[in-house]
Structure 1
Amino acid sequence: APALILLIDDDGGMVERGKALEQVESMLSLLPLGLAITDRDGRFLFLNNAFARTAGLREGEKPLYPGDLMIREDKSAVADAVRRYASGPPMTGDLAVRLRAGGEDPVALGIAGVRGLGDAAVLLSIKDNSEETKLKSQVAQATKMQAVGQLAGGVAHDFNNILTAIIGHCDLMLLRHSPGDSDYDDIQQVKNNSNRAAGLTRQLLAFSRQQTLRPQVLQLPDVVADVSNLLKRLLDEKIELEVKHGRNLGLVRADPGQLEQVIINLGVNARDAMPKGGKISISTRTITASDVRDLKSDILPVGDYTALFVSDTGSGISPEIIGKIFEPFFTTKEVGKGTGLGLSTVYGIIKQSGGYIFADSKLGEGTTFSIYFPVHKLSGDQEERATLASPPVKATAKKDLWGSGHILLVEDEDMVRAVAERALTRQGYTVVTASDGEEGLTNLAAQGEGKFDLIISDVVMPIMDGPAMAKQVRAEYPDLPILFMSGYAEEQLRKSIDLDNVAFLPKPFSVAQIAEAVGEVLAEHAK
C-alpha cells in the first residue's frame, strides 16, 4: 500500500516553517496520490493534480473548503472533521464521503493533523475507488444473477412438472370430446394457457442457462438476414432499421433459433424506447484479441470474437436502472405491457452460448447492446461440413402414434407418472411404473431379461436418481434403450449422465409428444 512519511522539525521559526511548507507542497505535487493541505479554519492552502482529478474539479477551478467538493449531506461532517484534526494533538483517521462529481459511490478521505508547517494544519488524502467500486459492483451483480438464475431454474423445473400433468390431462380429456362439445372449448382454453405458462418457464430456464439448445456452427449475418425481415414487420413506420456487416467474420457456435429470439427481443425493446420514431442499427464486426485488450474489460477474456451490436436512438436507460435490466421480472414498462423476462432471456441465451453481453446507455441519446461470441475454430474436415445457415424445416407426415411393447416408467412426481402412464397405455403400450431408481431396478429384476423394451425415467429423483439407475441398467442390460424426461437442459444432462445411446424428452410434454418420442426410440432401436 502507498505510504507518505513526513519528518518535521517543530523548532524552526516562522520563516523556516514557511519554506518547509513550500518544499512539502512541491513534493506533494509530484506524487500520484491525491493530497491536499488546509489551514486551521479548513481553507485549502494547496491541492495536487491527483487530488483535483479524483475530486472531479475542472481546470482552473479552485474550491475554498473541502466541503465544497462533497454532496450536501456530507459537507458538515467533513467540516467538523477538519476542524477537529486542526487542533489538539496530531491524529490520523479516515472518513467515507460522497463527492459532488462522483455520484453515490463513497470514497475514502484520509485526514491527518500536521504541526510545524506554518499555516498548514490538516493533510487530506483521497483515493480514487471508482475502478475498485465498479469491479466490486460487477462481481456482486454477477453473483446475484447466478443466485437468481439458480432460483429461477428450480422454480421452472417444478412448474414444468405441474404443467406436464395439466397439459397431459387436457389432452386425455380432449380425446374423449369432439369439437363442438360444450366442454371442448373450455378444455382447449386450459391447454392453451398452460402452453403460455410453459413459455414463461422456458424463458426462466433461458435466464438460468438451463434450457435445451440446438447449437450449430453458423455465420452471424445469416441469422441477422433471416430475422431482419420479421423484425421490420414488428417496427413502426417511423422507425428506420439499418443493418451493416463487417468483413472476415469468424464462425460462431450457437442455436440459430435462440439467436433470432435475442435479436427480436432487443429490437422490440428498442422500438418501445422510441415511441416518436428513431433508428435501430444492427451490425456485426470482427473483434481481435488486440481489440479486447484495448477495451480493458475485467469481464471479457482476451481472445477473438465475432460481435453483434444492436443500437437505438431512444430515450436511454438511467444509471440507477441499467444494472438491473437483465434481472428476471424487472421491467420499466406499464403494468400488463411486459413480463420483465425479455432481457433476462437474452442474457441467459448469450451466457449459455458461451458469449458475453454488455449494455451502454446515455439518457436522451440511446442504448447499445454489445454481444461477443467466441470465434469457433474448425478442423479441415469440419470446415467442409460446417452449417453456415439455419437448415430449412422439412415438412413431415403426421406420425402414427400407436405402438406396442413393454415400458418401465420411473418418475417420482405422482401427477406426471399418472398422466404419462395413461397416455402410453392409451397408445397401446404395457406400462409398469416406479417412483424412484431403486424401485425401478427392483421391477426390472423381477420381470427378468427381455421383458422391457424401453425405460422412461425422470432425471432428478430422491433415493436414486435417473442417471445412477441408468448406469446400473447399462451394466446388466447394455442394449436396453433409455429415454430421459426432464425440465433441465439436454446438453447439461448429457454431460452429467455420460452414457451413450440415450434419448431426451423435455418437460412439459403433451400426450402426442411422449408417444412420438417413444415411437422414435423404439424404431431406432429396432434398426
Structure 2
Amino acid sequence: MPLIAAIAAALVASAGLIWLITRDGSIALGYAVGLAALMAAGYAIARIRPNTREEAFAAPDWSVTVAAIEQPGTAIAVTDRANRLVCANSAYTDWFGIAQAPPNLALDRESMERLVRAAREAWRDGRGLAEPLGREGGPAGWRGEAERVGRGSDYLVWRFTPLTLEDPVARIGEWIAGPLGAFLSHSGIEAAVVGTDGAIRAVSTGFAERATGDPSATLAGQDFVAQLRSDDRERIYFAREGRRGTPQMLVQVALGDPDDARPARADEVPSLMLLVDSGVGIGGGWEGGGSVAATPQLEALLGALPLGLAMTDRDGRFLFANDAFLRAVAREEEGLPPFPSDLVVREDKSALIDAVRRFARGPATSGDMAVRLVHQADEPVSLGLAGVRGLGEAAVLLSLVDTTEETRLKRQVAQATKMQAVGQLAGGVAHDFNNVLTAIIGYCDLMLLRHTPGDSDYDDIQQIRANSNRAASLTRQLLAFSRQQTLRPEVLQLPDVVSEVSQLLKRLLGEKIVFRVHHDRDLGPVRADPQQLEQVIVNLAVNARDAIHARGDGTGKLTLATRRVSAADVRKMGSDIIPVADYTVLVVQDNGGGIPQSLLGKIFEPFFTTKEQGKGTGLGLSTVYGIVKQSGGFIFADNVAGPGGEPEGARFTIYLPVHRGTERREAREDAAARASGWSSGGRVLLVEDEDMVRAVAERALSRAGYEVTTACDGEEGLAAIANGGAFDLIVSDVVMPGMDGPAMVRAVRKVRPDLPVLFMSGYAEEQLRSEIDVDDMHFIAKPFSVQQISDEVARVLAESRGRAGADST
C-alpha cells in the first residue's frame, strides 16, 4: 500500500509539472491518463507468474491399460477432459488412426454431431451412445459408446463396434429358391437374383429345370446372360430350350437399399430377373395385345406375392395393385387413386409423374426413387419402377415393400428402450433420495422423543415427519414403476383384498357413482403384496372417478370383478404376451367415456397425465404397471364399446398367476411376536457410508439398549472384526464405495460363519436377494423410522438366538 501511494503521488506531481510548463489542462490530463495506463499494464504483467508446482502424482503408466483394452473386432480409445487421445488399441489405430481423438474423427457431419452429443452425455450422465456412424459418402459402419471413468471421473473410454446389417438381397434369394419361387414357376414366371457382375446368386427351381434340366441345380456364380438366347425379332428364350420353348418377357427389378434417398441405377445394385412366359398373356403371344386388367391369371399371381406390386398404363393411370401394395400405401379401404402421384406428398408429385412417364415411353429399364407417402410423410420409402412391354395397356410396374409392421416394431422398440431408461433413472433417483429421507425421518423421531404433545415444537416436528412420509411414498411410486420396490408378498385371495379396500373406495367415489363387485367361484390364490394390491385398486378407482366427473354431472358406474382363467382359456386367446398358465384376473371397468386411442400406448408412462396442472403427478398408472409386473402379472387397458359403437368406458384387466405353494402370513406374524419379546440387547456393528444415515441409526440402536460400533465403509467394518470385535449382528448398507456390504460380509463369514447380517438399502429386496449370494441375510428398506430399525434388529437377534438354541439342543 505505501508503494501504491508513492506511485500515485509521483503521477500527480508529474502531471502538475506538465501543466505548469504548458498551461494546457488537456495535455496534462492526457499525459496523466497515458502514464497511468502504462503503469497498470506493467503491474498486471508483473503479477503473472508461471505455475511451477509439480504434479502431485506422476503421469500414469498407460501400457497396462493398452494391453487390457486390446480386443479383436472392437476399437477402444481413452481421452481426457481436453479431448486428447491418451491411449488406444490396435483396432482403433487401424480404423481411425491416432492423429485425431473422439469426437473429432474423420466421419460425416451427422456422425460427428452424434459423437459430440455422446461425449456431452457421457461427461454429464456417465454414459453416451452414438449410432450409426459412417464416413462421408459411405454406409453406416460403426456404433460408438462413451463411458466416464477414473478416480476423478476425468477420462472417457470410447468403444466402436462394427454394425452388422442384414443382407436383403440374400433374403430375397432364399425366397426365390424356396416355395415362393416354386409358386412363381407354377404360374409361368421364372425368377433369378443376379449380382452387379451378371453372375447368378439364386434361382427358382423352375428356372434351374428349364436352364439345365435339373431342378436342384443352384447355378450360383454362372453368367445369367449365358442361360438365355434371343432371335432376330429380339424374342428371349432359354438357351437349353431354344426356339422349341416359349418366348419370355424379361422384367428387371433393381434391389437397391430402400432407405437410400438416391435412386440407384439397375447396373449399380443386384437385380431380380423375372422371365414371364408368353403363355401368361392373352392370345398366346406378346404381340397379340390385350390389357393386364383383363388377365385374371396374372392378377391372381401378383396378388399372392408378398412384394407390393402395381401397374400403370402409358398415361400413368393405375390399372391394378395387389393387397401388399395397398397395405404399404394405407389404401386398403379407400382403394387406389387415379394416379401414383396422388399417393405422395406435394413436393414429390412432379418427380414421380416424370419418372412414370419416362419408364412408360422409354426403353424397358428399371430403377428406384425415394418418395414420401401421404400417410407417413416423415419416413421416405423406396419405390421401384420398371418399364414393361407386351402386356397391352400395362407399361410401368411399380413395386413397394410394405413396411407397416417393421415401422410398428421400430416404434415399439424405441418406446421400450425409452421406458427402460426412464425406469433406471427413476430407480437411481429414488435410491439416493431414500438416504436423505431416512435421515430426516430418523431425526424427527429422535426429536419427538424429547417433546410431548402440547410443546411449541411438537406440531412442527410432526408436520416435517408427515411431509417426509409423503416424499417417501413418492419414491415408492418411482421404485414401483422401475420394478425396484420392496414387496412383502403373501399367499392371498383377491376377493379378500377387494373386501378390505371396498369401504375406502365407497368414500372415495362418493354417492353419485354406483360401485359394484362381482366374484367368480373357485378362484386360485395369488402371491402378492396385499398393501400394494390395495394401492393398485385405489389408483384405478380414483382414475375412473376423475374420468366420470370429467365427462358430465359426476354420475356413473364402477365395477370390480374377479375372474378365473384357466390355461386352456389362455391357449384359446392365442396371446404372444401371456404365458399359458392358470390366472386369477381382476377387472376394473367404468363408464367414464374411455381412453382416446392415441393415448392408449402412453398411459403407463411415468409423469404422463391428461389432468390439469396441479391435479395429478402422472405416476398413478405407472405405479400400477410396476406393481403388477413386479408381482409377475400382466395388465392391459382397452375401451368398452357402448350401444352405438362409441367408447363407453375404460377397462383395465390384471392377470395374476395362480400360486401353487402353501406360504401363509402366520409365519411372519410369529416372527413379529418373537421380535416383540426380545429385550436382552446385543453388540451391533453398523456399517454405512452416508454420515446422516449412520448417525440416525447409531442413536436409534443406542437408545434401544444396543452397544453400537460404527464404520464408514466395508474395509473399516472388516477391520473392526479382524481386531477382535465380538458382535452379535452386522447392520450394513449394500452399495458403498470401495468394498461394498456383500463383499464385506462374505469376508467376515470366513471367520464368523454364524454371524447374522441385516442389509439396509433403497432397492428392492427381491432384486438384492437375486444378486447377493449370502446366507442368513435379512433386509430393511430405506427410508425407515427409529422404531422400525429397532424392531427389525430385535427380530433378527431373536431369530438368531432362537436358531442357536435349537441347534444346541
Which TM-score tier does this pair reach, normalised by the shorter chain?
A: 0.7 to 0.9
Alignment of 1:89-238 (within 5 A): 90-93=365-368, 95=370, 97-98=372-373, 100=375, 108=381, 110-116=383-389, 117-238=391-512
| Alpha-carbon separation, structure 2, partners of 1:318 and 1:110 | 34
Q: Which residue of 1 aligns with 2:590?
A: 312
Cα shift readout 1:132-182 (whole Å, capped 9, x = no counterpart): 433333333233222221211111110010111111122222223333333
What's the counterpart of residue 502 of structure 1? 777
Q: Please list, as runs of the form range in 1=range in 2, the aligned pairs for 1:38-437 lying within 5 A after superposition.
A: 38-52=312-326, 55=329, 57=331, 61=335, 63-69=337-343, 74-77=345-348, 80-87=351-358, 88=362, 90-93=365-368, 95=370, 97-98=372-373, 100=375, 108=381, 110-116=383-389, 117-275=391-549, 276=552, 277-361=555-639, 364-378=647-661, 382=662, 404-437=681-714
Deviates more, 1:61-70 or 1:135-144: 61-70
CA offsets, 1:264-284, max 9 Å, x none? Answer: 111111111111332223223
Per-residue CA distance 1:226-246 (angstroms, 9 max, x = gap): 333322221133322333333
Q: Structure 1 107/355 Cα, relative in aligned 2: closer, same or farther at 3 Å?
A: farther
* Cα 1:491–1:31 shift into 2, 3 Å: closer
Aligned with 2:477: secondary structure? helix
Secondary structure at the residue paired with 1:274?
A: helix
Whether the aligned pair in 2 keeps the contact of 1:86 and 1:121 (CA below 8 Å) is no
Deviations 1:189-221 (A, max 9, x none): 211111110111111111111111121223323
Give yes or no for contact 2:675–2:796 (8 Å, CA) kept in 1. Answer: no
What amino acid is the match of 2:478?
L
C-alpha distance after superposition, 1:436-464 (max 9, x if no partner): 1111010112134xx22221111111211
- In structure 2, stretches of 5+ residues that fail to align are 1-171, 177-190, 192-272, 279-283, 641-645, 803-809
Partner of 2:244: none
Q: Tell me the alpha carbon deviations over residues 24-65 of structure 1, each in whole angstroms, 9 at most, x when there is no partner.
A: 445324545442212344321122344446655566855322
Structure-1 separation of matches of 2:609 and 2:413? 22
Q: Could you tell me how far 1:415 is from its partner in structure 2?
A: 1.3
**Sequence identity percentage:** 61
Match of 1:18 in 2: 290
Q: How far apart are 1:353 and its partner, in Å?
A: 0.7
C-alpha displacement of 1:392: 10
Match for 2:437: what amino acid?
A: L
Gap regions ≥5 residues in structure 1 = none
How far residue 123 of structure 1 moved from its aligned partner, in angstroms, is 2.2
Aligned match for 1:513, one of 772, 783, 788: 788
Shift of 1:289: 4.0
* Paired AA for residue 698 in structure 2: E
TM-score (norm 1): 0.86
Question: C-alpha distance in 2, partners of 1:188/1:49?
Answer: 69
Matched residues in 2 for 1:154 and 1:224: separation? 33
Distance 1:225 1:293, change over 3 A: same
Q: Contact 1:109/1:124 (CA < 8 Å) preserved in 2?
A: no
CA contact (8 A) 2:674 2:798 kept: no
Shift of 1:109: 6.0
Contact 1:355 1:374 in 2 (8 A): yes
Aligned to 1:7: 275
Closer/same/farther in 2, CA of residues 417 and 321 from structure 1, 3 Å limit: same
Q: Which amino acid aligns with 2:699?
A: R
Contact residue 513 and residue 556 of structure 2 kept, 8 A: yes
- Residue 359 of structure 1 and its aligned partner are, at CA, apart by 1.9
Equivalent AA in structure 1 for residue 507 of structure 2: R
Deviates more, 1:147-156 or 1:234-243: 234-243
Per the alignment, do residues 288 and 521 of structure 1 end up closer, same or farther by CA in structure 2, a change over 3 Å counting?
closer
Q: Which has the larger radius of gyration?
A: 2
Distance (Å, rounded) in 1 between the aligned partners of 2:327 and 2:470: 54
RMSD (CA atoms): 3.5
* Separation in 1, partners of 2:790, 2:687: 16
SS across alignment from 2:584 = strand
Q: Give the letter aligned to residue 435 of structure 1.
A: C
Aligned counterpart in structure 2 of residue 440 of structure 1, from 717, 730, 737: 717
How many Å apart are 1:360 and its aligned residue? 1.9
CA contact (8 A) 2:341 2:352 kept: no
1:268 is paired with a residue whose SS is helix
2:593 alignment partner, SS class? coil
The residue number in structure 2 matching 1:483 is 758
Q: Which amino acid aligns with 2:355?
A: R
CA contact (8 A) 2:675 2:794 kept: no
SS at match of 2:510: coil
> Comparing 409-418 with 248-257, which one deviates more in the overlay?
248-257
Name the CA distance, whole Å, in 1 between partners of 2:664 and 2:559.
Answer: 28
Alignment CA distance shift 1:179-1:21 (3 Å)? closer
Tell me the amino acid that sits aligned with residue 322 of structure 1: L
Cα distance in 2 for residues equivalent to 1:26 and 1:294? 33
Contact (CA 8 Å) 1:135, 1:298: kept in 2 or not? no
Checking the alignment, whether the CA contact within 8 Å between 2:493 and 2:524 is kept in structure 1 is yes
Aligned residues of 1:401 and 1:516 also touching (Cα < 8 A):
no
Q: Match for residue 524 of structure 1?
A: 799
The question of whether the paired residues in 1 share the 8 Å contact of 2:685 and 2:717 is answered with yes
**Gap change, CA 1:94 and 1:255, over 3 Å in 2:** farther
Relative contact order higher in (CA < 8 Å, ≥ 6 apart): 1
Taking structure 2 as the reference length, what is the TM-score of the superposition? 0.58
8 Å Cα contact 2:671-2:799 kept in structure 1:
no
